[in-house]
Amino acid sequence: MCDPITTAQCPVKKALDIIGGKWKLLIVYQINNETRRFGELKRLIPEISEKMLIQDLKALVEMGVLDKKSYGEIPPRVEYTVTEKGKKLLPVIEHIKEFGMDYV
């Protein structure tokens, strides 16, 4: 349990700061062990707006969950992969998936 005075140091709060929100776990789940381009992710998660996808991808890269590789091509090509740090999320996502299956 986290002490209210040290909430900033609470590991659960820190985890939720990184992966909280409607789309971040779903983005990581769709990338999984693949390399994905922006357009692929947009097709795999059609409900997400382009603005939100860009915002969440940027946040996940900044937090070290995803790696972004840009190529100097025209049209621009950007690829995303899950980092070693981010791979620690994959079993958590699998448990959430199993939990969700009970309610589908």
Domain, as residue range, for 31:
9-101
The domain tally of the chain equals 1
2 belongs to a structural domain: no
72 belongs to a structural domain: yes
4 belongs to a structural domain: no
Mean pLDDT, contiguous 10-residue spans, the chain (104 residues)? 68 86 95 95 97 97 96 90 95 93 90
Range list of H helices, 22-102: 24-31, 38-44, 50-62, 84-87, 89-101
Which CATH number characterizes residue 26's domain?
1.10.10.10
pLDDT at 3: 65
pLDDT at 72: 87
75 belongs to a structural domain: yes
93 belongs to a structural domain: yes
DSSP secondary structure code for residue 8 in this structure? G
pTM higher than the cut 0.75:
yes
1 belongs to a structural domain: no
For 92, residues 6+ apart whose C-beta sits below 8 A from its C-beta are none
